Amino acid sequence: MVNIPGNIQSAIGCDGDWQPDCAASQLTYDADDDIWQGTFSLPAGTYEYKVAINGGWDENYGGNGDASGPNIGLTLASDGAVKFLYDHESKWITDNTRHSIVTATGNFQSELGCPGDWQPDCLRSWMQDVDGDGIYTFITSEIPAGDYEMKAALHEGWDESYGSGGNNIAFTVETGKEVYFAFNSATKSVVVSTDGVPKGDLTTDKAHWVDASTIVLPVSLPQGGSAKLVASDSATLALGPDGVTGDLEIALTHNASGMSNTAEAKFPHLANYSAFTLPESTDITALVKGQLAVAIYNADGKIVDATGVQTPGLLDAAFAYDGTLGATVGEDAIEFALWAPTAKSVKVHLFSTADQYEPTTSIEMTSTNGVWSASTSVDWNRKFYLYEVEVYSYASRKIETNWVSDPYSLSLSTNSAKSQIVDLNDADLKPEGWDALVKPALAAPEDISVYELHVRDFSIRDDSVSETARGTFAAFAEDGRGSLHLAELANAGLTHVHLLPAFDFATVNEDRAAQQTTPDLGVYAPDSNEQQAAVNAIRDEDGFNWGYDPLHFSVPEGSYATDPNGVQRILEFREMVQSLSNMGLRVVMDVVYNHTSSYGQYERSILDKIVPGYYHRRNDEGFVEMSSCCANTASEHTMMEKLMRDSIKTWATAYKVDGFRFDLMGHHSKENILNVATDMQALTTESDGVDGSAIYLYGEGWNFGEVADDARFVQARQGNMSGTGVGTFNDRLRDSARGGNPFGGYDEQGFSTGLFTDSNGKFGGIDERATLLTLADKVRLSLAGNLSDYILTDSTGTELTGAELVYNGQVTGYTADPQESINYLAAHDNETLFDGIQIKANSTTSLADRVRLQNFSNSLVLLAQGVPFIHAGQEFLRSKSMDRDSYNSGDWFNALDFSLATDNWGIGLPIADKNEDNWSLMAPLLANPAIAPQQSDREFALAVFKEWLQIRASSGLFRLPSAEAVQSVVSFENTGPEQIPGLIAMHLNDPTGDYDEETSQILALFNGSADTVEFTLASAADQPFALHPVQQASADTALAAASVDNGVFTVPARTTAVFVVNREDDSSDVDEEPEEEIEEDNRNGRKRGGSVGFGVLTLLALALMRRRLR
C-alpha cells in the first residue's frame, strides 16, 4: 500500500489529514509503467505531503526520496487535478505541478517493456530528478546493442520535447553497456551517454582559474593523460562520450609543483588541487566572455572528467581596477563606468523619468581592460539609467541579456527600479549647515556607548511626529518623543546611535500607499495567537523589515524617506545625522556586505547579472554558498572588496557616518576589515570633511560556515581581531549573565537572572552553585574588558589568564584592548532582555524584582570596561511579546513607544514560524497580569538606566584606554571557592591619578542574589568610601539601605551599588607626580576623568531626587 498523507487528504476525501491509512488517498500500482500513481482534484491552496508505505509511518519518504525526510510543499494557484507518482526503487515521490514528467522517448522503449516506441506516456523510461538539482536522469542496461534515436518528452505528450537543435539524438549501444539519459530543465539540453554516466558534469564548476596562467581542479591527471580548456563563445559546450566539444580547445600543461605561493595564499582551500598551465599566447580577454570547461583524458584519449570553470582568481589577476566606478557628474559631462570584464557588450539606457518603460536614449559603452565606459551631457543629471549587459551566466549556462541597475548607484527611483544620476555635492541635497557640521567630541573608543535602533521602530507609532515623517529618517529632525528621549540619554552619557540597515534593501515596498496594515489587534487576549496570525498574513506586504537583504549598498533606503522616488532620501538621511549630532550623538551604520538579497538570474539579482560568478562565494561545485542566510558575497575577491570599501567611504564622507557595524563580520577577511580601517584613518577634516580617526569599527565575529576556522582566509572573527582595535560582540557576557544561549537553554538561568540564588528549578546540571561561580568568573572577565591576558582568580582559587578561562570549549578572553569588546546582553536578534528575564526568572519572582533584574543586568553592561551596547528600549523594559526573531514581525511586535505607556509585553503570542515550539511556555507568562509591567515600572527602569550612564561618564576608571590600564586598575574581591554566590566585587584603584583626577578608588558591588549581602573589604576599613553621588539621589529607594561601615559594605538584593573615594580624601593615595609630569600626561591624554565632574554630578543627583519614583 502506498499513500500520500498530508494536509491534502481532507480535500481528497479523507476524514482528516496526515492519515497514512486513508483509502481515499492511496496510489495505484501501474504494472505497465512499473510505478505507483494517482490523480486527485484539489482546490487552490498551499499544501504539504509525503509518501507512507503499508498504512503506517514506520516507512515513509519525503523530499529527495529521503527516509522520514521533510514534507514536500505543493502550491496550487487555482483548482485543478494533480497527478502524483512514486517509484519504490528510487523512493522518489513527486507530482506534475512541482516537477515536469519527463520521459526518455525513442525507438528503444519497446525493449524496456513499453507497448511500443516513441511513447511519451510510457513511464518505463521515466527520467527522475531525485536530488532536486533540475537534472532529470534515467539509466538502463536493458537496451540491446544497436543504433537508436531519442528525445526528452515533457508532460507525457509531444507538446514539448527536446533533442539536439530540434532533431532526434542518435546513439549507438554496444552489448552490455549501460545507457545514461539526462535532461537539464534549466538549459533544456539533453545528454545521452552510451558508456554509463558521463565522465564529468558541465552543470558544475569544479575547476578554478586562479591567476593569469593557472587552472586548478580536484582531479589527478592519469599517467600519460592530457587536459584541455574548451571554450564556447555561444555557450553551447556539450559533454558526450568522447569528451567536451566547443568552439576552441587549448592544451593545458600539467604543473606537478602545483599553483604558485601567491595563488595558494589567495585560495588556501584549493591547495591540494592539481595545477595546469595555459600557453602564454592565450587570449584571456576573449575567453572570459564565453562558457569554459576543463576536460581530462586518459592515455587512450578517453574522457575521464570534465567540469566548468570558476574565474574570480583570473579576473582579479588580469582585470582588477582601482578607479572610479558608477555615474560621475562632472562640470561638462556625466561619465559612466562599469566593471564587467566577462560582458560581451554593455549599453547604458537613459530615462527622462523614473516611471518610463522605454529609454529616451541609449549609449553603446566601450571596454578597456574590463571597464565599460560612456559619457553624456550634464543635462542628464537627476535623470535615471539602467545598464544592459550581454554576458554568459553560470546560473543558466546561457548568454543572457540583463537590464540591471548600477551597483555603484548613489540614488534610485522607487523600489530601486532604476538608478538615478546624482552629484552628492549639490547644495540642495545638503541641510543648512551640513558642511560645517561639528561632531560631538570623542576622546577615545572606550568612551563610546552604543544604542541600537531601527529607523521605523523609532517613530512609526509616535503621534508627536508628523504623520508623513513617521517611520522615516525625517522623524529624527522633529521634536517628537523619540528625539527628546535620545537627547535625554545623550545628556546622561550616551554617545552613539547604531542604526539597523538604512541602506537600500529588498523586502519592503517603498510605495507607502501600497503597504498593508493590520486591523486593531488590541481586542485580543495577551496570550492569543490571533495577533500573530494577522501580522503573518501581511508580513511580506507591510512596511516593516529589519533590512538585512541588501540591494544597493550606497543608497539610503527609500521606504525610510518621505518620497522614495529620487533624492529626498539623501537629504533626509543627512538631516537625521545632523539632528542626532545636535543632540550630542554620533551615528553608526549597520552594514551588510556579506550577502545580497538575490543572485544568479533571479529577480533582484544585480551583481551576478553583471559579472556572473564573481561577486558571490561559491562552493566546490560552483553553487553559491548560503551560510549567511542568503547569497554570500566573496569580499576576498578584489572587486567585491573594492565595492565594500568604496561604499563605506561614501557613507563616511558624504553622509558623515561615525562608525560601522559589520553584519557577520567573520564572513569577511581580517584583511578586508583592516583595509577599511586604513581607509577610515586616512580621512581628514581638511581633505574629506570628516575626522576618520574617530570612526569606530565593530562587528559580529562569529566563526561558522564555509569560511570557518580560516578555511578560505584569515577571518575577521573574534580571536583574530585581537590587537586590531576593531570591536567584536562579546557573547561570553551575554550567555553568562542571561543564561543559556541563542541556540539552546531557553529557560536556563545565568548570573543576572537568578541561577542558584533564586533558582527556577530548571537547572539541568550537576552542581548549580558551582555553575553560578563559573559564570561569575566569565562576567568578571567581561567587566575587565574580556582581555586574553588579564589575570584573575577563578572559582576554584586558581590564578589564570582570560585566555585560559574556558567558554564552551573556547577561550573566554580574546581581546588585547578593551575597545575590542562590545559588551551586550540584548540586540535586535533573539528575545529582548526583559523577555529573557520573564522566561528565566523564578516563577515566584515578583514584577518589581523582575524590573530590578533588568536594572541589575544593565549595570553589568554599562560599568564594564570596553564598549557598552544597548538594544533600543532595553532602558525601559522593551518586550516583543517573546518573539525571538522579529525581523519580519511587523510594527505590532516591534514599534517603540517613547511615551512609556506601553512596552509590547502581552500583545499576543509571537509569530509562529520561529516561536511556536515555545508557545506553551510563553502563553501562561503573557496571560499573567501580575508580571505585566506598568508605566511606572518603565519609568523606574529608565531612571535607573540613565543613572548607569551618568556613573559611567563620571569617571575614566570605567573607561580605561588599554589592557595595561585595566590590569593595573581593575581587580576583583570575593573570588575563589568560598565566595558569596551571586556577588561580584570590582575594585578600581588609581592611586597615581593616571585615569581620573578626582576619584582614586571605586568599589562596584554587583549583587544578583535575592537577598541583601554584607561584604567586607579589609583595605577599605580606613578609607572614606561613600555611595556614588548619583546613587545617593537615586530613583531606586532600595539604595537607601546600601551602606559602608568600617570596610563592611551592605548591598540590597538584585542591586548594584557603586562606592567611591574622592582623591582628596584618600589616605592611601601616593604622592602626587611633579607638576611637569602631570602637564605632560595631560598633553598625552592620559588623564581621563569623568566627562561630568563630581560637583556637577552632585547637582544632577539633587535634581534626580525630585524625580524619585520608588
Beta bridge pairs of residue 41: 81
Q: What torsion do the CA atoms of 457, 460, 461, 465 make, to the nearest 10 degrees?
A: 120
Query: What residue type is assigned to position 1096 of the chain?
Result: V
Which of 17, 316, 625, 700 is labelled catalytic? 700
Which of 423, 447, 641, 663 is labelled catalytic? 663
Separation between Cα atoms, residue 475 and residue 498, nearest integer Å: 16
Active-site residue, 1064 included: no
C-alpha cell at 715: 577571518
Q: Write the CA distances from 200 to 173, 197, 423, 621, 802, integer angstroms.
A: 20, 9, 51, 12, 52
**Contact between residue 1018 and residue 871 where contact means Cβ atoms under 8 Å apart:** no
Nearest CA to 898 out of 924, 928, 870, 877 is that of 877
Separation between Cα atoms, residue 874 and residue 834, nearest integer Å: 7
3-class SS of residue 734: helix
Separation between Cα atoms, residue 153 and residue 130, nearest integer Å: 18
**Contact between residue 940 and residue 1110 where contact means Cβ atoms under 8 Å apart:** yes
Query: What residue type is assigned to position 1033 of the chain?
Result: A
| CB-CB neighbours of 971 under 10 Å | 18
C-alpha cell at 444: 577615545
Active-site residue, 700 included: yes
C-alpha cell at 915: 516561536
Query: What residue type is assigned to position 211 of the chain?
Result: D
3-class SS of residue 406: coil
What DSSP string runs through 929-992?
GGG---HHHHHHHHHHHHHHHHHHHH-GGGS--SHHHHHHHEEEES-STTSPTTEEEEEEE-TT
**Contact between residue 611 and residue 629 where contact means Cβ atoms under 8 Å apart:** no
Nearest CA to 839 out of 780, 880, 887 is that of 880
What DSSP string runs through 857-884?
HHHHHHTSSSEEEEETTGGGT---TT-S
Q: Write the CA distances from 1078 to 40, 1073, 1075, 1086, 1087, integer angstroms.
A: 89, 6, 5, 9, 9
3-class SS of residue 265: helix
Angle formed at CA 389 by CA 386 and CA 395, multiple of 5 degrees? 120
C-alpha cell at 613: 560568478
C-alpha cell at 163: 533533442
**Contact between residue 621 and residue 706 where contact means Cβ atoms under 8 Å apart:** no
**Contact between residue 564 and residue 354 where contact means Cβ atoms under 8 Å apart:** no
* Helices 481-492 and 568-583, packing angle to 10 deg: 40
* Helices 935-954 and 1094-1105, packing angle to 10 deg: 170
DSSP 675: H
**Contact between residue 307 and residue 200 where contact means Cβ atoms under 8 Å apart:** yes
C-alpha cell at 27: 496510489
Beta bridge pairs of residue 1001: 989, 1061
**Contact between residue 228 and residue 294 where contact means Cβ atoms under 8 Å apart:** yes
| CB-CB neighbours of 925 under 10 Å | 20
What's the burial of 764, exposed, middle or buried (CB within 10 Å: 0-12/13-18/19+)? exposed
Residues marked as catalytic: 663, 700
